[in-house]
Structure 1
Amino acid sequence: MKTVTEGETKLMVPVEEKLSRKSTVFFNPKMELSRDISVAVAGLLKPHRVCDALAGCGARGIRMLNECGYGMDMTINDINPYAYKLIKKNAALNLKEKVTITNLDSNVLLGVDYEHGAERYDYVDIDPFGTPVRFIEPALRALNNNAILAVTATDTAPLCGTYPKACRRKYDAVSLKTDYYDESGLRILIAYLARLATKYNIGVTPLFSHSTLHYFRTYLQIHKIRSNRYVNEAIENVKYIQHCFNCFRREFRDLDELESFCECGEKYKTAGPLWAGDFADAKFCDKLGEKLSEKKEAIKLVELINLETDPGIRIPYYDVHKICKSSGISIPTMDKIMETLKENGFKAARTHFSGVGLRTDAPADKLVGVILGF
């Protein structure tokens, strides 16, 4: 064991060179950014009853309780008995506030009888090693109206198209290895959560989502009362994407609108269902950026994502380097490309998914024409 400081919190964590499912207790220092954002989200929304359902050593839940500065009713849980003991040690190291620490399967913890008096949560965090799929339904049932469901997925390879059969099994979706594979992976995850929620007449609104390193992360607001409007909006935002590997064209389409061939004559490849709506809310991003104060890496991420919330540029980003490589030309600066697009009446913005990625409402052929013009 060693002691580390993250944010304003001291944590006893295991010393392991490589993280795996066989790790005795799970702690990933590379997830500090994710935990920084969770603390800021909780500090901004001030949920009363909070559950860190798959806590590992308790880093996320203990930081939220220790750093948010209000009376949070926190439950921190892990099924691993070694993790349970370490959570207790970390709680004693940091907390004066009361905290409930449990050693249960999270589905048992969250799957109690809410119809007969059990109290629901205002925020549930699902952060597993791998896919979150088997933890979602109990979490949805455990949440109050307008509560937050925060979900991490680290099984990015199936979602991004490397293992499409695994994606079919887990998420009931077709993934595709495109130049924007990380964006389509995040959108498949959000669509899966939305589709599962609508089965129970629950609507979801993504407040903030991001792709970072080896994981996807999304914060969904849950709508259970007068939810029909939100459920219908979610259904409308679940679509398919058709991609042409010849001319870079990509289009969101409903199932009954799918086409076989692109305008260039190449056969379309199709992925989905995936989320075609915003994966973050602009007003929420503004407030979140203010709440993060001195967390420079997190602020930069939020600012980039805020640029992507313009509904005019929802279509997945373009990889400028791939377009240049396919055309055999040198790479212009991103600023020059964006400036030229805007001069021609199009919208353009950078993306947090890739340093060489560009979002625009310009058709693919117009974008390629702009790039070839340099």
Structure 2
Amino acid sequence: MAVANNLVKIIKEGQAQLQVPKTVFYNPIQEFNRDLSVLVLRTYLKHNIWHHKREERHVTSRGGMRILDALSASGLRAIRYAKELGEERSKVKGIVANDLSKAAVELIQQNIELNNLADFVTCKNADANQTMFESSASFDERFHVIDLDPFGTGAQFFDTAVRSIGEAGLLMVTCTDTAVLCGNASESCFARYGSMSMRGEFCHDAALRIILRSLEQHANVYGRYIKPLLSLSVDFYVRLFVQVFTQQAETKLSASKVSQVYLCKECKTHELQPLGTYEIKEDSTQASSENLAVKYKFKTPDVQVGDKCRICDGRFTIFGPIWNGPIHDVKFLELLKQELEISEPKNEFGTFRRIQGLIQLCIEELDVPLFLSATTMASILRMRLPRFKDFMSALVNAGYKVSISHTNQYGLKTNAPNTVVWDVFRQMAEQFRSQQDQSHPGSKKVKLQQTILMERIMSKPRERSYDFTYNAAIETESQKLSLLRFQMNPDKDWGPKSKPTTKT
């Protein structure tokens, strides 16, 4: 075969063996992505999270569900799924490894045979959208799990994926165009995802929410909606796991799950403006109804954001809209944690420690859109970054919850109003102002504009004084167990690698 002449080596990942030529895309840095995907899929099948009364009959009648690796390249994902599902493989009828490149499909077939999976994994040479669309013609042919792992954006596959996937199906999405999603080209982000992105400390959190909003919007067109199970921004890409359901009435809630973001140009504080809202109807009969269209009264919300920032009186810039709902399902994360612990003695995952730490970090992460950056706030107030246990204890002592973000170790997620968080920092700046000003490197060279901003914020009166006494409630399990939470770059010159060079 033509591909065989280009083979460079056989690699092993998980339980799969793989022939890897130069011309077909393979990135070893994404082993974490693939390990996690195997764990998620296994958990999804084992705990019957796929189970839905509308779909059970079709899944049972066709002898199990179908899985699609839509952009398979080398076939690695499909092969790992086939070999590492364990007992849950009995719930799967088969896996399709699809790719548009003829050379890639030829290689996939070789790898399928190398792993003795010809009776379970089939390859297809077609456009991913075409493969998904054709499967939607029959309930028995629908894919119940679709994995989208493109080079760059996956936006061009969203519409067909959410339309064609089976009820309560698992959609796994990777996007590597994080530069666009994080504000380097907001106009390109809008063209792809329907949202304006923006630079800032929370840009990776926002990137996840931009994609979730886009998936929800595409699903709504077909009377469907999404439920995020796990959403991660790691390394150079984002990886999201969502379920897709059908219920026309539920789509009426979608506007309330989306917000426009107002970001202060000066102090970088954000405010959210929901695009929709709803309330339970006063009529007791209607209020107890399971029909959402009957139970709720939907309306457009009042404007909640003023014309200037409450922290520094600065002007706002607008971006979004973004998803403002949960990006993780904590119950599902607990199941993932259990399954990971079961796998530990078998040494199944090469990235076990990282998966363990990240899952626990996501469990601890508060369900709060975006975050305030401790480094940005300290810089604006011309103070050294305070100890996290001090300002986190102050917030907890005041009756609020606080956590860090899995996307940024200096990101403060809290249910406290922004004014309260800034009050805590102002009090710390007041208490330690003299010594911090003296030891701040280059503090005398701070620009006049920055000095004015600092003085404007410091001049605002605090609502109250805060207690910085250490509170043990801020200690998390990931800290107590010294889990790997934020990994350094895994290799020299790591990243998304170059596009495959094979002609289709």
The TM-score normalised by the length of structure 1 is 0.91
Give the distance between the partners of 1:74 and 1:235, measured in 2 at CA.
36
Aligned to 2:422: 368
> How many Å apart are 1:343 and its aligned residue?
1.2
Measured after TM superposition, the shift of residue 260 of structure 1 is 3.3
Identity of aligned residues (%): 30
Would the aligned equivalents of 2:162 and 2:215 in 1 still touch at CA under 8 Å? no
Q: 1:220 to 1:229 in 2, by over 3 A?
A: farther
Tell me whether 1:319 sits opposite 2:380 in the alignment.
no
Q: Are the structure 2 counterparts of residues 169 and 114 from structure 1 closer, same or farther at C-alpha, using a change threshold of 3 Å?
A: closer
2:219–2:226: 8 Å Cα contact kept in structure 1?
Answer: yes
Which of 69, 93, 100 is residue 79 of structure 1 equivalent to? 100
Measured after TM superposition, the shift of residue 177 of structure 1 is 1.1
Distance 1:113 1:86 in 2: 24
The aligned amino acid for 2:37 is S
Find the aligned partners of 1:150 and 1:214 in 2 and give their Cα distance. 17
Q: CA deviation at 1:115?
A: 3.9
What are the Cα deviations for residues 147-187 of structure 1, in whole angstroms up to 9, with x where unaligned? 01111111111111111111121112111112201111111
What is the 5 A alignment of 1:112-191?
A: 112=134, 114-115=136-137, 119-191=141-213
- Paired letter, 2:39: A
Match of 2:357 in 1: 300
Alignment of 1:21-40 (within 5 A): 24-40=23-39
Verify the 8 A CA contact 1:289 1:302 in the aligned structure 2.
yes
- C-alpha deviation, 1:315, in angstroms: 3.0
Residues 1:95 and 1:185: Cα distance change in structure 2 (over 3 Å): same
Deviation at 1:277, TM superposition (A): 0.3
- Amino acid of the residue matched to residue 30 of structure 1? I
Q: Does the CA-based 8 Å contact 2:405-2:411 persist in structure 1? A: yes
Question: Within the alignment, does 1:281 sit opposite 2:329 as a pair?
Answer: yes
Unaligned runs of 5+ in 2: 1-7, 51-64, 276-300, 345-351, 433-504
CA shift digits 1:64-90 (9 cap, x unpaired): 111012133111111112211221222
The one-letter amino acid paired with 1:245 is K
Classify 1:77/1:238 alpha carbon distance in 2 versus 1 (closer, same or farther; 3 Å).
same
| CA positional deviation for 1:370 | 2.2
Any idea what SS the aligned residue of 1:51 has? strand
Which residue in the other structure is 1:20 paired with?
none
Q: 2:166 is paired with a residue of what secondary structure?
A: strand
Aligned to 1:21: none
1:19 maps to: none
Matches within 5 A, 1:218-367: 218-224=240-246, 227-255=247-275, 257=303, 259-263=306-310, 264-293=312-341, 294=344, 295-308=352-365, 310-311=366-367, 314-367=368-421
Deviations 1:224-243 (A, max 9, x none): 2xx13432333321111112
1:247 partner letter = C
Q: Is the 8 A contact 1:112 1:118 kept in 2?
A: no
Q: Which residue of 1 aligns with 2:109?
A: 88
CA RMSD of aligned residues (A): 1.9
Whether the 8 Å contact between 1:251 and 1:315 is mirrored in structure 2 is no
Partner of 2:296 in structure 1?
none
Give yes or no for contact 1:315–1:361 (8 Å, CA) kept in 2: no
Q: Is contact 1:37–1:292 with CA below 8 Å preserved after alignment? A: no
SS in 2 for 1:100: strand
Count residues with an aligned counterpart: 361
1:215 maps to which of 237, 250, 253: 237
Mapped to 2, the partners of 1:95 and 1:301 lie a distance apart of 33
**C-alpha distance in structure 1 between counterparts of 2:67 and 2:389, whole Å:** 43
Residue aligning to 1:49:
66
TM-score normalised by length of structure 2? 0.68
Alignment gaps of 5+ in structure 1? 16-23
Distance 1:106 1:178 in 2: 34
Give me the whole-angstrom Cα distance separating, in 2, the residues matched to 1:54 and 1:292.
Answer: 27
CA–CA separation in structure 2 for the residues paired with 1:88 and 1:40: 25
1:116 deviates by 5.1
Aligned letter for 2:106?
K
Q: Partner amino acid for 2:327?
A: F
Letter in 1 for 2:26: F
Residues 68, 145 of structure 2: 8 Å contact kept: yes
Counterpart amino acid of residue 232 in structure 1 = K
